[in-house]
Amino acid sequence: MKRNLRILALAMSGLMVCLSSCVKQEEVDVLIVGGGASGITAGIQSARMGVKAVVLEETPWVGGMLTSAGVSCIDGNYNLRSGIFGEFLDSLAVRYGGWDALKTGWVSNVNYEPNVGQEVLSNMAASCGEKLDLRRNTKVVSVVGEDGDWIVTAKPEKGRKYKVRADVLIDATELGDIAKACGVEYKIGMEASEDTGESIAPAEANDIIQDLTYVAFLKDYGPDADMTIVKPEGYDPAPFYNSAVHPMNTVSETGQTIWSPGMMITYGRTPGGRYMINWPIYGNDYYVNSIEMTPEERVEAYKAAKNFTLCFVYYIQTELGMKNLGLADDVFPTEDRLPFFPYHRESRRIVGEAFFTVDVAARPYDFKYYRTGIAVGDYAVDHHHFRHPEWKSLPDLHFYPIPSFNVPMGVMIPKQRDIEDLIVAEKSVSVSNLMNGATRLQPVVMQLGQAAGALAALSQIQDKPVKRVRVRAVQKALLEAGCYIMPYLDLPKDHRHFRALQRIGATGILRGEGRNVGWANQTWFRADDPLLAEEIYAKEIYAGDLGLGEGEVTVGKLVTTLRNLGMYIPSPVEEWWEKSGLENYDPQRPLTRLEAAVVIDSVVSPFGMFGVDYEGNLR
């Protein structure tokens, strides 16, 4: 009897060891690590295309810098609202009572409370139903490649580890940690000018990245309230002396604006009356390069950044006399009332199939990347280096002028031949350190995520590796989702001819005009201008001479030319012209550029006829 009991005990012990060591494994089509600004949009887009996606997010919130890091005053793209980014803004406007209700802080036309943004994004994700599985409070333990798939080991905050085998993996982490784990080549810091061709880059490369910021939200608790926090450890007011020292804005001898306390505090005022403290100069920017740190080292580094922000809050309360402003108790569900993590302006940047630089953005038609655009941006090249001890020796990168731009699809795809079915989003894409100053902004990152989701979904729908999915197929999916692929301001995304103009722009047959107007970077198709024969770059798709001559092209001249080239235009032309959504068919009058785009898109269809590779070369 005792022997049998011993055998049973040994068997039960072995079973318990097996149960504790065996890790459950599941299979998914698309796995996204990181539920931030790009991760959540990637998941939503993939799900909307009918492909199930799983998102693993470390915190209880989705949205990343939009929510969890507290940067809820959106920089850029106010006039290029499209795709999921546009839907997000639409929902905020409805939530707060209209577009004007969002214009509460002077830094942006779109200001909101982070908790409200998190609710909006959560609702958008929930609307995808079972196609989107969002798993919060879940960390990734490891990632390995196996038999053409990616095996990710995940550990929820409550529960046991499990494995996920994914056909396509998307790195949407804040610092590109998954790309590194997968063995992707990457860069950190500033490249030398000879490596990027950028004249404003430093002569020698360095590992300096942009300052991060631990954002805080303040709330007015009433004129008689004293919300002064406990004096932070190591408090020194000196770093903040010039953050807001004049009753009225003034300009120093060096030409730098010195802000008033009132302007500083209302910089990021939200519709709910909260104050975002993300003040760049003499404020709570903080320099630390945590990219290659261990998780434990990052925790300590972020504690120091958090303490620096608390020092600034204490300065505001004491030196600036705003003791009635205290840390908001109704924004973040954290014990210290601060965000879940700091705002990272820079991360690893992979070596991708395309390399996007400031020069490419400034002179798009000197290159061919513009044909492969999957996201657009109009914010300046904005770098934060003020807190670095050697900031005065760095290049002057304050709002370097460029037009609005589109981001090439190849920046999301590792160049290495031995790495397949990995897509990189967020701020870890293949751009130069300088160009990251513009591509890091919330609208661009959200669009990169949506493009990553479309690419991943098409890979599954077409049963192809990621690198065999055509650029034009991804662009087509994005256009169908109401996204821009060219940064033209002429037509809104709901205009009947929006897609035609976008498609023709992406072929290069007709080209836009970039402009830099202060902070407003723009590109115009010049839709209503008369078409000039010399503005048609037909050689991009047609070897011969179109025979249009020079100067203005008439309606009849273009119709006749296309027919002579063997293109089919139905008769009577007047009816076809009207059915195409065009007005006033008169063969003798000058043709507008928009009309030319619509006609060429309809009759020739060059966007669908000619594919492009990652470099933008016609295929």
Q: Where on the phi/psi map is residue 243: left (φ > 0), alpha (ψ -120 to 50), or beta?
A: alpha
Q: Is 213 helix (H, G, I), strand (E, B) or coil?
A: strand
* Contacts of residue 234, Cβ cutoff 8 Å, sequence gap at least 6: 307, 311
CA angle 42, 46, 52 (to 5 degrees): 120
Per-residue pLDDT, 255 = 60
Closest among 338, 341, 306, 342 to 234, alpha carbons compared: 306
- Residue 538 CA to residue 543 CA, distance in Å, equals 8
Q: What percent of the chain has pLDDT over 70?
A: 94
CA angle 545, 550, 556 (to 5 degrees): 80
Average pLDDT for 280-284: 91
Task: Indicate whether 445 pLDDT > 50.
Answer: yes
Task: Indicate whether 12 pLDDT > 70.
Answer: no
Per-residue pLDDT, 520 = 81
- Choice among 136-150, 247-261, 313-327, 411-425 with the minimum mean pLDDT: 247-261
pLDDT band at 516 (very low <50, low <70, confident <90, very high): confident
H/E stretch holding 374 = strand 373-377
Per-residue pLDDT, 19 = 44
Helix boundaries (H) for 189-273? 193-196, 261-266
- Choice among 120-124, 370-374, 394-398, 410-414 with the minimum mean pLDDT: 394-398
Task: Indicate whether 112 pLDDT > 90.
Answer: yes
Tokens (6 digits) for 535:
């503005």
pLDDT band at 301 (very low <50, low <70, confident <90, very high): very high
Average pLDDT for 350-355: 98
The predicted-structure confidence for 14-34, as pLDDT tens digits, reads as follows: 444 444 456 789 999 999 999
Average confidence score pLDDT of the chain: 93
Per-residue pLDDT, 398 = 65
Helix boundaries (H) for 378-418? none
Start-to-end Cα distance in the chain: 80
Per-residue pLDDT, 547 = 84
- Residue 201 CA to residue 178 CA, distance in Å, equals 28
- Choice among 90-94, 495-499, 523-527, 567-571 with the minimum mean pLDDT: 567-571
Task: Indicate whether 2 pLDDT > 70.
Answer: no
Strand blocks (E) in 200-351: 212-213, 216-220, 250-251, 257-258, 268-269, 275-277, 285-286, 325-327, 349-350
- Choice among 51-55, 158-162, 255-259 with the minimum mean pLDDT: 255-259
Number of H helices, E strands in the chain: 17, 23
pLDDT band at 495 (very low <50, low <70, confident <90, very high): very high
* Contacts of residue 377, Cβ cutoff 8 Å, sequence gap at least 6: 76, 77, 80, 404, 405, 406, 407, 438, 439, 441, 443, 444, 487, 521
C-alpha radius of gyration, the chain, whole number = 27
Average pLDDT for 568-582: 95
Q: Record the pTM.
A: 0.94
Per-residue pLDDT, 593 = 98
The predicted-structure confidence for 517-556, as pLDDT tens digits, reads as follows: 877 899 999 999 999 999 999 887 777 778 888 999 999 9
Task: Indicate whether 320 pLDDT > 90.
Answer: yes
Q: Is 347 helix (H, G, I), strand (E, B) or coil?
A: coil
Per-residue pLDDT, 456 = 98
Q: Is 204 helix (H, G, I), strand (E, B) or coil?
A: coil
Tokens (6 digits) for 385:
């280096």
The predicted-structure confidence for 194-230, as pLDDT tens digits, reads as follows: 999 998 899 999 999 999 999 999 999 999 999 999 9
Query: Is 149 within 8 Å of 166 (Cβ atoms)?
Result: yes
Per-residue pLDDT, 246 = 66
Q: Is 382 helix (H, G, I), strand (E, B) or coil?
A: strand
Strand-pair partners of 186: 350
Per-residue pLDDT, 34 = 98
Amino acid identity of residue 564, one-letter, is N
Query: Is 548 within 8 Å of 541 (Cβ atoms)?
Result: no
Q: Is 539 helix (H, G, I), strand (E, B) or coil?
A: helix
Tokens (6 digits) for 157:
């905050």
User: Between 83-96 and 114-126, two packed helices, what is the crossing angle to 10 degrees?
Assistant: 120
Q: What is the DSSP string of 62-76?
A: S-GGGTTT---B--S
Query: Is 554 within 8 Å of 576 (Cβ atoms)?
Result: no
The predicted-structure confidence for 452-489, as pLDDT tens digits, reads as follows: 999 999 999 999 999 999 999 999 999 999 999 999 99
Q: What is the DSSP string of 82-144?
A: -HHHHHHHHHHHHHHTSGGGG--STT-S-B--HHHHHHHHHHHHHTTGGGEEEE-SEEEEEEE
For the chain, give the number of residues: 619
Average pLDDT for 263-268: 94
Average pLDDT for 575-579: 95
